[in-house]
Amino acid sequence: MLAIFKRETRSYFTSMIGYVVIGVILAFIGLYYTANCLVYATSDFSIVLYSTTLVMLFVLPALSMRSFADERRNKTDQLLLTSPVTIPQIVLGKYLAQLVVLAVPMAVACIMPLILTCFGTVSLTSAYATLFAYCLLAAACIAVGTFISVLTENQIIAYLATFGVLLVAYLMESLQTLFTSGNTLAFIVFCIVLAVASVLIGFVCKSITVGSGVFCGGAAVLIVLFQLRPAWLLTAFNSVLDALALFSPFETFVGGMFSVSDIVYYLSVIGLFLFLTGQALERRRWN
Amino acid sequence: MIEVSHLTKRYGSHVAVDDISFTVEKGCIYGLLGPNGAGKSTTMNVITGYLSPTSGTVTINGHDIQEEPQAAKACIGYLPELPPLYTDMAVREYLNFAAELKGMKKKADRAADVARVCEKAGLQGMEARLIRNLSKGYRQRVGVAAALLGNPEVIILDEATVGLDPAQMIEIRALIHDLGKSHTVILSSHILSEVQTVCDRVLIISGGKLAAQGTPEELAARLAAKGVISATAQGSREQVLKAAQSVAGLTDLRVTAEKSDEVSFTASSTDGADLRAALSAALAAAGCPVLSLSSQNLSLEDVFLQLTESDVSADSEQGKPESADEAETAMPLAENEESAGTDTPQDKEGE
């Protein structure tokens, strides 16, 4: 794992991509820091971080896009997969190298609240807690990007797909308001999801019976629920959408609260997507 | 050493490798031979753990590649068809990385091993060059060097000499020959002369199936059902042919050349027995001095063509034009391959 980690880190810093990512993140944080804290003289550092979350959508996919897509195109994954290292070690090595690149602008950002203390009282706890959550959010975005990168061998597709997924996650809060009215809508959406899932299951099992069986069973459950407990569907639907809103837990921290459940949420997202990356890598050997 | 049993690999509905079983003994050089798309690379990829078999098992040194992949992979040095090189790294940097991947923890060990393999693969003086700037031949050498790192017991080389110039090819073959003394080597190739000169044992794969295996001589002998003799004797045509016909078991007499008082002819024995002595005696008795006499052994090339062509005719029933397929199987022939490069189609009649 150490070998992969070292190689990846070095490759980020011998090519332009590492510097570009670091530079862009720092430029935006610096811009908002200057505008908000130095010029406008607010003591709230978290507002700077909040304003720069949008930058993640553009920058972090550039970091994660090459992690696996490039290996597959150049067939260098053959070296990794035929060496005596496990798949979790490969995934972790690559992921940690991306975190090292991320750590550079974060380390610089650590200094910023300290500078503010020269001019007045600053809530350092709040500032650093937000910065911590900011790092976790970025780490979660990178995990998503790494997973998407393993699915394709084209870096540009990996970039665009990651950008799209993160954009949906970013906009999820406002999208959610479209869905909160009406249990029928929730029912319809669940039915569509069920239909898609059934078709997929049918394809995977190569059996129409299994696919239609799943669909009929699921539809029966949905109809019964819709008749008896229509509110449940809406609640369930909303909690699914909540879980997809990757950026909203971060706002709790910006609001000045330290939420353990949100930290657990980010760690779960990271864990889930790294696990899926490993599974996708493993699965490729079977096709 | 390596045991492959009932190995099958399917890609969707396409069967790339179909129920192949073989055993690789320690300290031998094995050649995997087959036309394009026969399943050589797939077989190697499964043995090295890059792909998972659809069914069947591969055991390396007692370690199942599926059950204990780490232990099994640690015994193997693999050079895939396309060397897996990070082009943004320098040669030494890359080899260091590969050595560390193979579990060499100490820096000094790695440096010593990298120096050793660089020397073996003929990379001295290139260590600081970026892989991106290397020629195909040198990239291939870097791949070979990486496969040698850590002195693995089994070395698997997929088309190791592709893209090398003739001198480099001979060098790499010498290296493989050298490795065979201390390692088990499996190499795949479509160059028959290479396999014939380098390998102790040959596995011929065709259409995903194991068509034959054995030493090159064994394979040739097995298929040489008719021992063909070519001879030149002094005397008139009638005299010579009469003498030859008197040898029991000799049929299919054909005069190939006739000079003033010399007759060259070929003949084959019906049961495959070696009739050179009998023929020589008969000719001498008839007063026709024998000028030359030799038995034409089937080369590996002929064996290869016979084995793979039977498959071709089976395929052609499904509407494939046979001649096109034959051209494909006949592609990589010629004994003088070293000087001819790899992909010039040679006229097989000329051999």
**Using 50, 70 and 90 to split pLDDT, how confident is the model at B328?**
very low
ipTM comes to 0.82
Over residues A252-279, the pLDDT tens digits come to: 888 888 889 999 999 999 999 999 999 9
Residue B118 has pLDDT above 50, yes or no: yes
Contact A79 B101 (CB under 8 A): yes
pLDDT at A199 over 50: yes
Question: What pLDDT sits at residue B317?
Answer: 40
What's the order of all strands across the beta sheet hosting B209-214?
A: B76-79, B154-158, B184-189, B29-33, B201-206, B209-214
Q: Is the minimum CB–CB distance between A4 and chain B shorter than 8 Å?
A: yes
- Tell me, yes or no, if B87 comes closer than 8 A to chain A by beta carbon: yes
Average of per-residue pLDDT across B5-31 = 88
- Best mutation target among A15, A68, A78 (most B Cβ atoms within 10 Å) is A78
Task: Determine which of A22-31, A154-163, A237-246, B75-84 has the lowest per-residue pLDDT on average.
Answer: A237-246
In angstroms, the separation between the Cα of residue A227 and the nearest Cα of chain B is 43
The residue behind tokens 């070292």 is A6
Q: Does B73 touch chain A (CB under 8 A)?
A: yes
Rounded to a whole number of angstroms, the distance from the CA of A158 to the nearest CA of chain B is 20
* Per-residue confidence band for B224, with pLDDT thresholds at 50, 70 and 90: low
Can you identify the CATH homologous superfamily of domain B2-221?
P-loop containing nucleotide triphosphate hydrolases (3.40.50.300)
Of residues A3, A78, A286, nearest to B84 (C-beta): A78
Bridge partner residues of B255 (DSSP):
B265
pLDDT value at position B314? 43
Is pTM, for the whole model, over 0.95? no
Give the model confidence (pLDDT) of B64-98 as tens digits.
Answer: 988 898 999 999 999 998 899 999 899 999 999 99
Sheet holding B63-64, edge to edge: B14-24, B2-11, B55-60, B63-64
Which of A100-114, B260-274, B282-296, B337-351 is the least confident region?
B337-351
Task: Say yes or no for a CB contact (<8 Å) between B86 and A76.
Answer: yes
Q: What pLDDT shows up at residue B298? A: 60
Question: What residue spans define the domains of chain B?
Answer: 2-221, 225-296
Q: Does residue B308 have a pLDDT over 70?
A: no
Which 8-state DSSP code applies to residue A120? S
CB A95 within 8 A of CB A143: yes
CA-only gyration radius of chain A, Å = 22
Least confident of A204-208, B23-27, B137-141, B295-299: B295-299
- Per-residue 3-state assignment (H helix, E strand, C coil) for chain B: CEEEEEEEEEECCEEEEEEEEEEECCCCEEEEECCCCCCHHHHHHHHCCCCCCCEEEEEECCEECCCCHHHHHHCEEEECCCCCCCCCCEHHHHHHHHHHHCCCCCHHHHHHHHHHHHHHCCCCCCCCCEHHHCCHHHHHHHHHHHHHCCCCCEEEEECCCCCCCHHHHHHHHHHHHHHHHHCEEEEEECCHHHHHHHCCEEEEEECCEEEEEECHHHHHHHHCCCCEEEEEEECCHHHHHHHHHCCCCEEEEEEEEEECCEEEEEEEECCCCCCHHHHHHHHHHCCCCEEEEEEECCCHHHHHHHHHHHHHHHHHCCCCCHHHHHHHHHCCCCCCHHHHCCCCCCCHHHC
pLDDT exceeds 90 at position B13 = no
**Which tokens hold the place of B29?**
């050089």
* Token reading at B69: 């992949």
Does B109 contact A at CB distance below 8 Å?
no
Of all residues in chain B, the percent with pLDDT exceeding 90 is 19
Least confident of A174-183, B186-195, B245-254, B276-285: A174-183
Q: Which residues of B fall within a CB distance of 8 Å from A6?
A: 97, 100
State mean pLDDT over B181-204. Answer: 85
Give the separation between CA A187 and CA B322, rounded to whole angstroms.
60
B225-296 shares the fold of B2-221: no
Q: Are strands B184-189 and B228-234 parallel, antiparallel or unpaired?
A: unpaired
Q: Which of B9, B10, B50 to mutate to test the interface with A (most CBs of A within 10 A)?
A: B50
What was the pLDDT predicted at B260?
79
* Cα of B19 to nearest chain A Cα, Å: 17
Q: Residues 75 to 104 of A: which have CB under 8 A from any B CB?
A: 75-86
Strands across the sheet with B262-269, in order? B250-259, B262-269, B228-234, B290-296
A11 touches chain B (CB under 8 A): yes
Q: Could you report the per-residue pLDDT of B90-101, keeping only the tens digit for each? A: 999 999 999 999
Asked if residue A117 has pLDDT above 60, the reply is: yes
pLDDT tens profile A212-236:
888 899 889 888 888 887 777 777 7
CATH code of the domain made up of B225-296: 3.30.70.3190
pLDDT value at position B321?
38
Whole-number mean pLDDT of chain B? 79
- What pLDDT, on a 0 to 100 scale, did the predictor assign at position A160? 95
